[in-house]
Chain A
Amino acid sequence: MEKEKLLRIEDLVLHFSTTHGAVQAVDGVEFSLDYNKAVVILGESGCGKSSLAKAILRLLPRNIAKYSGKIYLGDTDIMLLSDETFRQDVRWVMLSMVPQAAMNALNPVIKVGDQVAEPAIIHLGVKKDEAMRMAKEMFQRVGVPEDFLSRYPFELSGGMRQRVAIAMALVTLPSLIILDEPTSALDLLTQANIFNVLKRIKQELGTSYILITHDIATSSELADDVAIMYAGQIIETSDAMRFFTEPLHPYSKLLMASVPRLRADADPIFITGQPPSLISLSSGCRFAPRCPSRFDKCDQDPPTADVGGRKIKCWLFS
C-alpha cells in the first residue's frame, strides 16, 4: 500500500427507508484524501452529497435502511466504533463539519463566543476561560472582530455567521473538516472572502477539507482533488488541475460545459432529462438514460477504470 491517506472510504452505503421504498442516497462510494488536501465533491442537487457528509460524520436520521462500508481515518475504521466513542473521540476531535446553511447553525439563544468555545470544553476538557481564549484565537484566524464574541447570532451578518461556524469547526484543530455548501446563500464577494479564509487556514494549520458544493466556479479556488457524484455514486475522481482542463466522464464533460465562461464564445449547454430518482434505480450505468455516448454495454453496471491515476466509472474507459 502506498503512503497512508488521511481518509479512505470504501464501499460506503447509506440507504433511507421511506414509504415509497429505499432511497439509495449513498451507494457504494469510494474515495480517499491525503493530508493537507482539499477534495471537492461536485454534483447536482439531490445526488446524495449531503447524505455522504452525514454518513461520514454518522449524523443519521431515524429511517436508516442500510448503513455499511469502511471509513478509515488514519488507520482506524471509524465505522466500527460505538456511538458514544464516536461522539467523544471522532466528532470534532478528528473530524468536524461546517453544516449546510451554516448561517442557521448557530443557536440563537447562546452568544457566539460561548458556542465556539463549547466544542473545546466538551472535547478537550479545558476550562471555560481557556476555551474562550481559544475561541478568540479562532475568531482572529477567520477574521471576525474579537468583540463579536459576546454577541448573539442575530446581531451578525450572514458572512460573519459563516465565519463563526467555520471558527467553531476549527476550534478543536481537527485534521479534517467537512464543508457542506459553506457559501450557499452568500454573495460572491463574501464567498471569495470565505474561500480565502479557508485557503489561509489550510496553509497555516495543515487542515484537510471535504468541500461539498454544486458551485463549480468557486470550488475550483480551493480544490486539490475533485470527485463527481451522480445518483449516489462517485463517477469520477481526479486531481483538480487535470479535471478542470479535461473532464473525462461524459457527465463531467456536460457538467463542465454547462458552466458559463467569461472569455469563451460558447453558450452554456444543458444536460437533457432529469437526474434519476434515488428510489427506483435501474441496473446499469445510472447516467445512461441521459448520456449522449450511450452504447450497448451501458445496460450493465460499469466498473471503475484507472486512467492515469484518475478513476472513472464508465464503460468508455474500460
Chain B
Amino acid sequence: MKSLKKNFQELLKYPSAVVGLILVLVLVAISIYAMVTIPYNEAIILWRGGEDQWYRNPKYALPKWVNYFRKDKLPESIALSTIDHPEYKTVETNEDGSAIITIEIPFEYNYEILPVDLMIRFTSNFQEKAPFISVSWIRPDGEKIRIKNLSISPKQDYRVSQDKDLQKKLGGNKIEVGLFTDYKNDPKTIEKGKYTLKIEGATFEKDSDFDAEFIAYGKVAGLGGTDHLRRDLIVALLWGAPIALAFGLLAAVGTTLTQMIIAALGTWFGGWVDILIQRITEINLVLPFLPILIMIGTFYSRSIWVILTAVIILNIFGTGIKTFRAVFMQTKETPYIEAARAYGASNTRIIFSYMVPRILPMLIPQFIILIPSYVFLEASLAVLGLGDPTLPTWGKVIDEARANGALFQGWYYWVIEPSILLMLTGLAFAMLGFSLDRIFNPRLREM
C-alpha cells in the first residue's frame, strides 16, 4: 500500500503522466455519466429506434455549440406541439358533437438564416369521417398566407417544404424563402419577429379531436450534431466511451495475462511444452489477423463479444509470448530461482510468486499502452463494417459518416468528433503508459 502510494506520487512528477491520468479519468467519468444518464436499454432504443425517436431533429445538423463561435447564429429547430401546450388550442363544440378547433402556434424567429425544412405532424382520432383543416401562416407584419386545406388521417406528416402548390403560390421561391422573407422584393431579407401558424379545423363526430405539432428544422441540433437518421450523435459519442474502454481493457487483460502465464509455464517446464507453445505462436504469427476477423464478422457474428473473444484468442499466441519468454528465460536462471527450487518451492509457487512478479514492471506499462491499440482495433473493425450493429460506438459513427459521404458534403463534425475521442483515448493511455514505463524501468530514464 505504501509503495503504491510512493509510486503514485512519483507518477505525479511527470507532467505527461498527470495529463494522461486526467484524460483517462475524464474518459472514465464520461463512461459513468453515459451509463447513468442513458441506461443501456434506453441507449439502444435511441440509437436503433428509427426516425420516431428523433423526428424533431434535422438531418445533418451541426452541434448546437458551434453557435458560440459564430457571429451569424445558425437557427435551432423549433418544435411546438399542442399536446405540450394545450393553451394553443381552442375548441368550440356544437350540439351534434362536431366541433370547430382553432390552433394558433406562435413563435419568434430572430435568426439571419432560414430554417432548412418545415413540417406539421397531425394526430387525430375519429371513427369514419376525418377532420378537415385549413392551415395558414401569419407573418410578423400581419400578412396572412394560406398554406393548405386538407383532411387528415390518424397520423399524418405534412411536409410544408415539399408542397409544390404552395411554392407556386409563393412566386416559385423556395417555401422557406416565401414564408420567412419579403420575397417580392430584392434582396430578400428575413423578417424577424413573431410568426403564427394558424390551423382551423372542423371535426364531424363526437369525441373526434386532433392535435398538431409544428417543426421548423434548424441548422444546429443536439450536443453532437445529427446524422442521416436525425439521431443526436452525442448518444453514440457518450456510449462509445464505455464500450471502447471495456473492449480495450478486456482485450488487453485477456491477452497479456494469458500470454504471461503461458509464457511462464512454457519457460518453466521447458521441453515439449515450450516447443509446442513456441510453434503455435510462430504459426499464429503468420496467420493474417484481420482477414480472419473479417471472416468471423461476415459469416458468423458481429456481436462485440464474439469479436472480443476472437481478438483475444488470436492475440494470445502473439509476439508477447516471445517477449515474455525472453525475460522469463533470464529470470529462470537467476540464483534466487535456483534457491527457491533448492528449498523445495513447488512449481506453481515458483511460477506465480517468483517468476511472474519479476515481469510485472515490464508488463504494466505495456498493458496500459496496449489498451488504446485494442480500442483502435475495434474502431477499425467498425469502419470496415464489422462493428456490432446494435451498439453505438465511435467506429460506427465514423463508418456511417463515411458511408454517407460526410467529408464530401462538408459535414466534418460527423467524422471529427469520434476521431478526437479516439485520439484522446490513445493519447491518454500512451502518456500514462510511457510515464509508467519510466518509473518501473528506470534505465529508460537515461535514454
Contact = CB atoms under 8 A, between A and B. Distances in A.
B338 interface: yes
A302 interface: no
A186 interface: no
A92 B343 contact: yes
Contacts of A189: none
B194 interface: no
B346 interface: yes
A99 B353 CA distance: 20
A105 B344 contact: no
Nearest to B338: A99
How many of chain A's residues touch chain B, expressed as a range? Answer: 20 to 34
Given A62-B271, A107-B354, A110-B353, A91 B344 contact: yes
B270 A97 contact: no
B357 interface: yes
How many of chain B's residues touch chain A, expressed as a range? Answer: 10 to 19
Contacts of A108: 336, 358
A40 interface: no
A7 to B, nearest CB: 16
B340 interface: yes
Interface in B315-367: 334-336, 338-346, 349, 353-354, 357-358
Contacts of A88: 344
A99 B342 contact: yes
Contacts of B339: 97, 99, 102, 105-106, 165, 168
A105 B333 CA distance: 11
Interface stretch (A116-124, A140-148, A272-280): A116-124
A62 B270 CA distance: 9
B345 A122 contact: yes
A100 interface: yes
Contacts of B338: 59, 99, 105
Nearest to A123: B344
Interface string B232-274: 0000000000000000000000000000000000000011000
A7 B201 CA distance: 114
A161 to B, nearest CB: 11
Contacts of B349: 122
A193 B354 CA distance: 30
Contacts of A97: 339, 342-343
A168 B340 CA distance: 10
A108 B349 CA distance: 16
A42 to B, nearest CB: 22
Contacts of B270: 62
A96 B271 CA distance: 27
Contacts of A109: 357-358
Given A62-B271, A109-B357, A109-B358, A99 B335 contact: yes
A291 B231 CA distance: 97
Contacts of A110: 353, 357
Interface in A163-198: 165, 168-169
A223 interface: no
B32 to A, nearest CB: 34
Interface string B131-172: 000000000000000000000000000000000000000000
A101 B337 CA distance: 12
Interface in A80-110: 87-88, 91-93, 96-97, 99-102, 104-110
Contacts of B334: 104
B342 to A, nearest CB: 5
Given A62-B270, A107-B354, A57 B342 contact: yes
B267 to A, nearest CB: 12
Interface string B286-316: 0000000000000000000000000000000
A97 B336 CA distance: 12
Contacts of B343: 91-92, 96-97, 118-119, 122-123, 168-169
A99 B343 CA distance: 10
B354 A59 contact: no
Given A107-B354, A110-B353, A59 B342 contact: yes
Given A107-B354, A110-B353, A101 B345 contact: no
A312 B174 CA distance: 119
Contacts of A105: 335-336, 338-339
Contacts of B353: 110
Contacts of B344: 87-88, 91-93, 119, 122-123
B341 to A, nearest CB: 6
Nearest to A165: B339
Interface string B43-82: 0000000000000000000000000000000000000000
B333 to A, nearest CB: 10
A118 B271 CA distance: 28
Contact of A106 (B336, B341, B345, B358): B336
A87 B357 CA distance: 23
Contacts of A119: 343-344
B185 to A, nearest CB: 85
Residue with the greatest number of chain A CB neighbours at <10 A, chosen from B270, B336, B338, B341: B336
Interface of A: 57, 59, 62, 87-88, 91-93, 96-97, 99-102, 104-110, 118-119, 122-123, 165, 168-169
6 contacts: A92-B344, A97-B342, A102-B335, A105-B339, A122-B343, A122-B345
Q: Which 10 A-B pairs have the closest CB atoms?
A: A91-B344, A105-B339, A104-B335, A119-B343, A105-B335, A92-B343, A107-B336, A109-B357, A97-B342, A87-B344
Given A62-B270, A102-B339, 13 more contacts: A57-B342, A59-B338, A59-B342, A91-B343, A92-B342, A92-B344, A104-B334, A107-B336, A107-B354, A122-B343, A123-B344, A165-B339, A168-B339
